[in-house]
Structure 1
Amino acid sequence: NPCADNRRYLESAPADLGRPGGARGPDAYDRSLGVTVEERFSVGEYNILILSAKDSRGLETWLRRNGYKIPRGANRLLRPYIRQNMKFFVAKVNLEEFDKTAYQRLRPLQMAYESPRFMLPIRLGMMNATGEQDLIVYVLSPRGQAEMTNYRTVKIPSNTEIPVFVKAEFGDFYTAMFQTAYEGEGKKVAFLEYAWDMASCDPCSANPLNREELRKSGVFWLNSGRTNRRPNNVYITRLHVRYTRDTFPEDLMFQETSNRELFQGRYILRHPFTGEMSCRAGVDYQQSLNRRLQQEAQTLAELTGWDIDEIRNKIDFPDVKPIPWWRHLW
Structure 2
Amino acid sequence: MLDQETLRTFIKVAESKSFSKAAENLHKTPAAISYRIKMLEESLGTQLFLRTTRTVSLTPAGNHLLERCHQWLSWIDGMPDELNQINDGVERQVNLVVNNLLYNASVAAKLLSWLHQRFPFTQFRLSRQVYMGVWDAMLHDDFQLAIGVTGSESLSNTIRLLPFGDVSWVFILSPSHPLAKRSGILTDNMLRAYPAINIEDTSLKLTKRVAWLLPGQKEIKVPDLHTKLECHLQGMGIGFLPKNLCQRFIDNGQLVTKEVENKRQPSPLSLAWSHHEHTGKAVREIVSLFKRNDEKIVGFLTNIDRRPNLE
TM-score with structure 2 setting the length: 0.22
TM-score with structure 1 setting the length: 0.21
* Higher helix residue share: 2
